[in-house]
């Protein structure tokens, strides 16, 4: 079975531009989350979506937005890019059930964003 | 505030030896899960082991085991018979139990482990 897939894997943008990152969860997983990982740090939570609704938001500005589609895939959008947005953006999925499997989160390989 | 602290920025171990990575956390919640993730140079975050906070028995996965001390809020990872492929960043994380439809992982800053031949 395919894992969490993300695209693109690498991209370079200019300050002020907008970027869209895409994610497909593991088959059967209904919850998708986004994390930002800057160099030398652990991932920081950005958003969580479940059944197309936002279920959680981290401490990120309104320039960050996301959505989830009926097939449970997701997009992360970042507007008015700043140099500080350069990071690895990780997508993760989970079953969203009450047992241990539902509370286990699996990650994709990430999208490397460089803002110049 | 919920926090995770990994006090060892870097560690090294000889191949075939045992190493223990430390992690402490702070939360007022009673029901949660704890995880160790491995991030090799490829940058994919790979689940190593998980522990349900309500279980007293420490989790084990082949060469990986944890020492979970709930009262002390401590969750260390022991790697036995270290292999060169274990070289990676290791992140400790926890998640409040809520069925996965809500809630997110809170990560520590990581420990860089190098396994030397």
Task: For chain A, 116 residues long, give each residue's pLDDT as a single digit of tens.
Answer: 679 999 999 999 999 999 999 999 999 898 999 999 999 899 999 999 988 899 889 999 999 999 999 999 999 999 999 999 999 999 999 887 666 666 788 999 999 999 99
At B8-38, the pLDDT tens digits run: 999 999 999 999 999 999 988 888 889 999 9
B100 → closest Cβ in A31, A88, A109: A31
Q: Do A95 and B4 touch (CB under 8 A)?
A: no
Kindly list the averaged pLDDT for each block of 10 residues, start to end, along chain B of length 117: 92 98 92 93 91 91 96 97 97 79 85 97
Q: Do A98 and B99 touch (CB under 8 A)?
A: yes
A56 → closest Cβ in B37, B99, B102: B102
SS (H, E, C) chain A: CCCCEEECCEEEECCCCCEEEEEECCCCCCEEEEEEECCCCCCEEEEEEECCEEEEECCCCCCEEEEECCCCCEEEEECCCCHHHCEEEEEEEECCCCCCCCCCCEECCCEEEEEC
């Amino acid at each position: 079975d395919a894992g969490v897939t993300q695209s693109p894997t690498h991209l370079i943008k200019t300050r002020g531009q907008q970027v869209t990152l895409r994610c497909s969860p593991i088959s059967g997983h209904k919850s998708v989350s986004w994390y930002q990982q800057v160099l030398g740090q652990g991932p920081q939570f950005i958003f969580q979506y479940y059944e197309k609704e936002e279920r959680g938001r981290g401490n990120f500005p309104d320039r960050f937005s996301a959505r989830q589609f009926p097939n449970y895939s997701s997009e992360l959008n970042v507007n008015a890019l700043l140099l500080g947005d350069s990071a690895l953006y990780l997508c993760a999925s989970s079953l969203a059930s009450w047992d241990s499997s539902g509370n286990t989160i699996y990650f994709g390989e990430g999208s490397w964003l460089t803002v110049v | 505030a919920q926090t995770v602290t990994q006090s060892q920025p870097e560690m090294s171990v000889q191949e075939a030896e045992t190493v223990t990575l430390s992690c402490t956390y702070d939360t007022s919640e009673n029901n949660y899960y704890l995880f160790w993730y491995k991030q090799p140079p490829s940058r994919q975050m790979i689940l190593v082991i998980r522990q349900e906070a309500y279980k007293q028995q420490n989790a084990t996965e082949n060469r990986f085991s944890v020492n979970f001390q709930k009262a002390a809020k401590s969750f260390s990872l022991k790697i036995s018979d270290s292999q060169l492929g274990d070289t990676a960043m290791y992140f400790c994380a926890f998640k409040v139990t809520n069925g996965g439809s809500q809630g997110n992982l809170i990560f520590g800053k990581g420990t860089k482990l190098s396994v030397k031949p």
